[in-house]
Amino acid sequence: MSDVIESLASKYGLYLCVECGKCVAICPMGEIYTHVSYEISPRGIIERILLDPEIPEDDCLWFCLTCDLCTNLCPAGVRFRDFVEVARQVAIKNGITEYSSFCDGCGTYLYPEHILGYLKQELGETAEELLTLCPRCRRYDFGEKLKAQIPGKRKVGSLEVETGDSR
Span of 41-49, 51-59, 133-141, 147-155 interacting with ligand SF4 by CB under 6 A: 41-49
Taken in order 109, 115, 120, 122, is the CA torsion positive or negative? negative
* Cβ distance to ligand SF4 smaller for residue 45 or 133: 45
Q: Tell me if 4 contacts ligand SF4 by CB under 6 A.
A: no
Q: Tell me if 61 contacts ligand SF4 by CB under 6 A.
A: no
Q: Tell me if 43 contacts ligand SF4 by CB under 6 A.
A: yes
Q: How many C-beta atoms lie closer than 10 Å to residue 53's C-beta?
A: 18
Q: Pick from 39, 59, 68, 141: which binds ligand SF4 (CB under 6 A)?
A: 68
Q: Pick from 76, 92, 116, 127: which binds ligand SF4 (CB under 6 A)?
A: 76
Q: Tell me if 21 contacts ligand SF4 by CB under 6 A.
A: yes
Q: Tell me if 22 contacts ligand SF4 by CB under 6 A.
A: yes
Q: Pick from 23, 55, 87, 115: which binds ligand SF4 (CB under 6 A)?
A: 23
- Least separation in angstroms between CB 21 and ligand SF4: 5
Q: Which H, E and C letters describe the chain, residue by residue?
A: CHHHHHHHHHHCCHHHCCCCCHHHHHCCHHHHCCCCCHHHCHHHHHHHHHHCCCCCCCCHHHCCCCCCHHHHHCCCCCCHHHHHHHHHHHHHHCCCCCCEEECCCCCCEEEEHHHHHHHHHHHCCHHHHHHCCCHHHHHHHHHHHHHHHCCCEEEECCEEEECCCCC
Q: Pick from 5, 74, 87, 115: which binds ligand SF4 (CB under 6 A)?
A: 74
* Cβ distance to ligand SF4 smaller for residue 100 or 133: 100
Residue-level length of the chain: 167
By CB under 6 A, name the binding residues for ligand SF4: 17-23, 26-29, 42-43, 46, 64-70, 73-76, 78, 80-81
